[in-house]
Amino acid sequence: MADPKVLAGRATVRVNGQRLALEPGAKLTLGGIESEAVTTDDPNDVYFGEKVVPGMIEGKMMVPTGTKVDDIGSVQNASILFETNAGVNFVMNGARQANVLVLENGRVDVKFIGAKARQI
C-alpha cells in the first residue's frame, strides 16, 4: 500500500510496455472537456462553450547509446502508462507522438497525445 503522505512527484512513463528514460518533471494532462464562458453585453446572460482536450504526456527523454529515436518518433496507437511514485497511475490509449523530435545535448522533448487519460 502506498504511503498516504507521499505526493505524486515522480513518474515512470511506459510506451507499449517499454520504459522511457525521462528526466524528472514529466507532465500529464488528463484531457476531457474544457469549458469557457461566452458572454453577451448583459452580465447576467452567460453561456458556456466546450471543447475537447486530448490526453497529453510531455517530458524530456534522455537518449543513451543504443536508443532508437526513430521508434519513439513513429509511435502510433500506443497505450502509455504514467506511473507515479505515490501509486497514482494513469493509462492513455490510442496515443501517438505529436511533435517533431529534435535531438539536442543527448535529449529529445517528447509529447504524446491520445484519448483522455484514466486512472487505474
The reported pLDDT for the residue numbered 24 is 87
The reported pLDDT for the residue numbered 75 is 92
pLDDT per position as a tens digit, 57-82: 999 999 988 888 888 899 999 999 99
Domains detected in the chain: 11-119 (2.40.30.200)
**Residues β-bridged to residue 110:** 59
Q: Which helix (H) or strand (E) holds 71?
A: helix 69-73
Cβ neighbours, 10 Å, residue 97: 19
Q: How many Å apart are CA 17 and CA 31, to the nearest integer?
A: 22
pTM given for the model: 0.83
Give the three cell numbers for residue 68: 532508437
Intervals of the chain under pLDDT 70: 1-2, 9
Give the three cell numbers for residue 26: 514529466
8-state DSSP, 17: T
